[in-house]
Amino acid sequence: MEEWLPAIWIGLLGVAVTLYVLMDGFDLGLGILFPLARDRVERDQMMSSVAPFWDGNETWLVLGGGGLWVAFPKAYAIIMPALYIPVIVMLLALILRGVSFEFRVVSENRAWDFTFFFGSLVATFAQGLILGGLIQGVVVRDGAFAGGPFDWFNAFTLCCALGLIAGYGLLGVTWIMLKTEGPVRDRMRALAVPLLAAVMVFVALVSLWTPLTVSRIAERWFAWPNIGMLWPLPILTAGLAFLVLRAIWADGRFLPFFGTMGIFLFCFLGLAVSTWPFIVPPPGDGPGGVTVMEAASSPETQLFLLVGALALIPVNLAYTAFNYWTFRGRVRPGDTYH
Amino acid sequence: MDWQLDGLILARVQFAFTIAFHIIFPAFTIGTSAFVATLEGYALATGSERHRYLARYWTKVFAVSFAMGVVSGIVLSYQFGTNWSRYSEVVGNVIGPAIGYEVLTAFFLEAGFLGIMLFGWQRVPRSVHFAASILVALGTAISAFWILSANSWMQYPAGYEMKDGIAYPTDWWAIIINPTFPWRFAHMLTAAYITTALVVTAVGARFILRNRHLDDAHTMLRMGLGLLMVLAPLQLFIGDRHGLNTQEYQPAKIAAIEAHWPAEAVAPLILFAIPDMEAEENRYEIALPNLASLILTHEWNGTVTGLKAFAPVDRPPVGPVFYSFRIMVGLGLFMIALAYWGGYAWLRGRLFSADRFLFVAANSWPLGFIAILAGWMVTEIGRQPWVATGILRTSEAASPVLAAQVGASLALFVLVYAIIFAAGIFYMNRLLNKGPERGSATEHGVPHRPLSGAGGGRAEPSTQARV
């Protein structure tokens, strides 16, 4: 049992982070698209489509951060100082956009429309840098972060950040296609194909970049017998992208959104394949790195919270489903829930 | 290593600033959500439309405060790692699960039903809405349970063992329900309800003085004051118990609270002094003999352990603890006086015309917040020099990051928080001044109001498309 606990926990944490990315991804993406709405009615319509959900979506981020601390304190204690600046910038940006939800309603001041957009964009950019900074690895000495304050900033992490902006943008567009109707939906739909193309370019770029620069990752993917088992993953991703493309052309409602989620999911699996068994990978082919096993908290700790997590996550998903069900249906121009 | 020292001070200032900012909002939303649920329950039971409108009115204020609490709270769950990575590593095994359970039992509960509470007035039956408000209120209280459990463990760790400098759990029950937890939890929860009661009382008094929304104002004043009359004296009792508990488990903190220097002696109650840590004595002391002994030991000649019983490196900074405590207790006593001043007017049937009382009550809304901040300063500065008592010193808990990073992020936090604090308080005050809205949706020119908890409009459910 004890040797399985860290594996279960990294899986659970992966689920939490994935759910966060998928769910907050669409409302952050909607924020990035916000300036493209033409007038107050359209902005309010976009806002109404996410207002009952954003707080729940962001709770997965707290579970991700909290879960990393509880289950892998050594990794948490390395990753947070290593990615100090993007983490702080993300938090500040999330604050600005979070309060904008309420502030823009109680005041007529357009400044809060801007902070909603700006906060969403910066938070996404920072999350992309965090993702890239983690994939490229962290300098660790004696179990503590030993790199520089700007290690997370280079062409690769920038590429990840731009890719994430495109990805959240696509989630936002497809969410708007799912949840709204009228002119705003048509205008946003026109962006879906370019965004999908951008996402696939960035996915391909990151997927080639990592094995070309890190032989550990190249071996993982291309050495026999791995390649025999792993080749369907990129093929499935491309196939799904094609399905999403056709659904966008056909003006589908559900498939563009859930198909985009699927693309995100496959990318996540790909990253997991590249990174395992590290939770903090070493930089390039250098020494170091911290594995999932090494970073794990005590088995008692992992077990104690696991019991609660297995019992409560389904309950929490049920609340979430009930909430989405209560606010089902498309938001029309001028609609409110009041 | 100079940079480490500077970085440490900046990290401490940053944590103190971000957590002090944060606590204001949950302290208020714990009480407001319970108040909204109470109003709705009353409206359901009696069919009173006034209570239902009042519930909606307070939900708008709650929405703004809740959003500010959520976003400033996310910061904290990451700040343990960014600025206090050694702390996270040393105690993570033991108190990490409290944070995990807070997310799983409280945050998801709140988030799951917040949408319905804020936006579901016309979407779900009244009973379901009432249930959602109760669950949100319950979520806020559960959140307080876990975070106070974790904090209390840092004050007096229990149920653990140390191996290679890392704490490992041995007894979860002892960790969660640790010795200083029950009274601290009761004290904080009561403080949160008192804070809301003071704000509700103040808003009621404000409207009566301005001769507006009188029926609503009377209801608010009666409910706020009634709660205050029960809770303010109860808090004195709980605070006394919490103090005795602190004396048992954290005698150094009590010594700092009382600025009591002798290792073991009868303690006077010091009303004012300037404690001098170098000279190990108080200057300009004004004291009432034996009174602190009476309070702490419940005996006239009981002796109290003083600061000199602890090595200088193990003493908390005396001044801030000493002064914060006096601010907290002073405000608490004022709240009791205010409650009974109002109660006396009420008894004589003159509550709504007691202008002098109403004026003081209308301006007393910030007192709960100030008392809470002062109380937290007592308990957190009083825990120093330890971050987890006996296990890890604050000076050894920080992250290996540059002081410049901590300083720059601190500056950004101050900037952003100053903007949203000013805006948030301004908007909440404006919402409160507007008073409860009544009438049909069209009267308020609704349909184009966006979906937000703070929005006042309503539309018919029939305009909503269904899947």
Report chain B residues whose CB lies below 8 A from the CB of A108: none
Q: Which residues contact A102 (CB under 8 A, 6 or more apart)?
A: B63, B64, B67, B427, B452, B453, B454
Residue B443: the pLDDT is: 32
Q: Which of B65, B78, B412, B444 has the highest number of chain A CBs within 10 A, making it the mutation to test binding with A?
A: B78
Instruction: Measure CB to CB from residue A102 to each of B92, B96, B453 and give the nearest one.
Output: B453
| Stretch B185-211: mean pLDDT | 95
Residue B439: the pLDDT is: 56
Tell if the CB–CB gap between B78 and A65 is shorter than 8 Å: yes
Task: State the DSSP H helix or E strand holding residue A148, giving kind and residue range, or none if neither.
Answer: none
Phi, psi of B385 (to 5 degrees): -85, 15
**Alpha carbons A225 and A252: distance in angstroms, whole number:** 39
Is the pLDDT score of B449 beyond 60? Answer: no
Residue B186: the pLDDT is: 96
Please report the residues numbered 245 through 304 in chain B whose beta carbons come closer than 8 angstroms to any beta carbon of chain A.
none
Residue B457: the pLDDT is: 40
Instruction: Measure CB to CB from residue A326 to each of B86, B101, B123 and give the nearest one.
Output: B123
Give Cα A145 to chain centroid, integer Å: 24
Binned at pLDDT 50, 70 and 90, residue B445 comes out as: very low
Report chain A residues whose CB lies below 8 A from the CB of B457: 336, 338
* Predicted confidence (pLDDT) per residue in A241-291, tens digit: 999 999 999 988 899 999 999 999 999 999 888 888 899 999 888 788 899
Is the pLDDT score of B230 beyond 50? Answer: yes
Is the pLDDT score of B429 beyond 50? Answer: yes
Is the pLDDT score of B450 beyond 70? Answer: no
CA A71 to chain B, closest CA, distance in angstroms equals 8
Query: Which segment of A136-150, B380-394, B452-466 scores lowest on mean pLDDT?
Result: B452-466
Residue B442: the pLDDT is: 34
Q: Where are the alpha helices (DSSP H) in chain A?
A: 5-32, 40-50, 54-71, 73-82, 84-106, 111-136, 155-179, 183-189, 192-213, 215-222, 226-230, 232-249, 255-275, 292-295, 299-326
Q: Express as a percent the part of chain A with pLDDT over 90.
A: 55
Arithmetic mean of pLDDT over chain A: 90
Report chain B residues whose CB lies below 8 A from the CB of A301: 92-94, 96-97, 169
**Alpha carbons B189 and B181: distance in angstroms, whole number:** 12
Instruction: Measure CB to CB from residue A149 to each of B405, B452, B459 and give the nearest one.
Output: B405
Is the pLDDT score of B1 beyond 90? Answer: no
Report chain B residues whose CB lies below 8 A from the CB of A53: 115
Is the pLDDT score of B467 beyond 50? Answer: no
Cβ neighbour number for residue B433 with a 10 Å cutoff: 12
Q: Which residues contact B74 (CB under 8 A, 6 or more apart)?
A: A58, A61, A62, A65, A91, A94, A95
Tell if the CB–CB gap between B112 and A106 is shorter than 8 Å: no
Which residue on chain A is closest to B466 by alpha carbon?
Answer: A329
Residue B447: the pLDDT is: 37
Phi-psi region of A14 (alpha: psi -120 to 50; beta: other; left: phi over 0): alpha
At position A28, the amino acid (one-letter code) is L
Q: Which residues contact B139 (CB under 8 A, 6 or more apart)?
A: B106, B107, B109, B110, B113
Report chain B residues whose CB lies below 8 A from the CB of A150: none
Instruction: Measure CB to CB from residue A94 to each of B74, B122, B172 and give the nearest one.
Output: B74
Instruction: Measure CB to CB from residue B81 to each of A40, A51, A76 and give the nearest one.
Output: A76
Q: Is B82 on the interface with A (CB under 8 A)?
A: yes
The 8-class DSSP code of residue A331 comes to: B
**Alpha carbons B101 and B106: distance in angstroms, whole number:** 8
Tell if the CB–CB gap between B450 and A91 is shorter than 8 Å: no
Q: Count contacts between A and B (CB, < 8 Å).
A: 303
Tell if the CB–CB gap between A69 and B73 is shorter than 8 Å: no
- Contact present, B209 and B358 (Cβ < 8 Å): yes
Is the pLDDT score of A2 beyond 80? Answer: no
Arithmetic mean of pLDDT over chain B: 87
Residue B466: the pLDDT is: 32
Tell if the CB–CB gap between B89 and A94 is shorter than 8 Å: no
Tell if the CB–CB gap between B104 and A312 is shorter than 8 Å: yes
Which residue on chain B is closest to A316 by alpha carbon?
Answer: B108
Tell if the CB–CB gap between B119 and A61 is shorter than 8 Å: no
At position B106, the amino acid (one-letter code) is A
- Domain boundaries in chain A? 2-322
Residue B456: the pLDDT is: 41
Residue A13: the pLDDT is: 92
CA A89 to chain B, closest CA, distance in angstroms equals 8
Report chain A residues whose CB lies below 8 A from the CB of B409: 84-85, 88
Is the pLDDT score of B2 beyond 50? Answer: no
Tell if the CB–CB gap between A69 and B453 is shorter than 8 Å: no
Binned at pLDDT 50, 70 and 90, residue B435 comes out as: confident
CA B227 to chain A, closest CA, distance in angstroms equals 29
DSSP letters along B275-325, please? EETTTTEEEEEEEETTHHHHHHHSSTT-EEE-GGGS-GGGPPPHHHHHHHH
pTM of the model: 0.89
Residue A337: the pLDDT is: 56
Q: Which of A55, A85, A338 has the highest number of chain B CBs within 10 A, making it the mutation to test binding with B?
A: A338
| Stretch B359-379: mean pLDDT | 94
Is the pLDDT score of B301 beyond 50? Answer: yes
Binned at pLDDT 50, 70 and 90, residue B184 comes out as: very high
Please report the residues numbered 168 through 207 in chain B whose beta carbons come closer than 8 angstroms to any beta carbon of chain A.
168-169, 172
**Alpha carbons B277 and B279: distance in angstroms, whole number:** 6
Determine the longest span between alpha carbons in chain A, in angstroms. Answer: 62
Is the pLDDT score of A167 beyond 70? Answer: yes
**Alpha carbons B71 and B109: distance in angstroms, whole number:** 17
**Alpha carbons B113 and B108: distance in angstroms, whole number:** 8
Tell if the CB–CB gap between B169 and A48 is shorter than 8 Å: no
B355 three-class SS: helix
- Contact present, B253 and B246 (Cβ < 8 Å): yes
Q: Express as a percent the part of chain B with pLDDT over 90.
A: 56
Task: State the DSSP H helix or E strand holding residue A144, giving kind and residue range, or none if neither.
Answer: strand A144-145
Is the pLDDT score of B444 beyond 70? Answer: no
CA A115 to chain B, closest CA, distance in angstroms equals 11
Binned at pLDDT 50, 70 and 90, residue B183 comes out as: very high
* Predicted confidence (pLDDT) per residue in A196-214, tens digit: 999 999 999 998 888 888 8
Residue A336: the pLDDT is: 65
Phi-psi region of B285 (alpha: psi -120 to 50; beta: other; left: phi over 0): beta
Report chain A residues whose CB lies below 8 A from the CB of B402: 149
Residue A122: the pLDDT is: 97
Mean pLDDT comparison of A100-114, B311-325, B426-440, highest-scoring range: B311-325
Is the pLDDT score of B353 beyond 60? Answer: yes
Query: Which segment of A30-39, A87-96, B348-357 scores lowest on mean pLDDT?
Result: B348-357
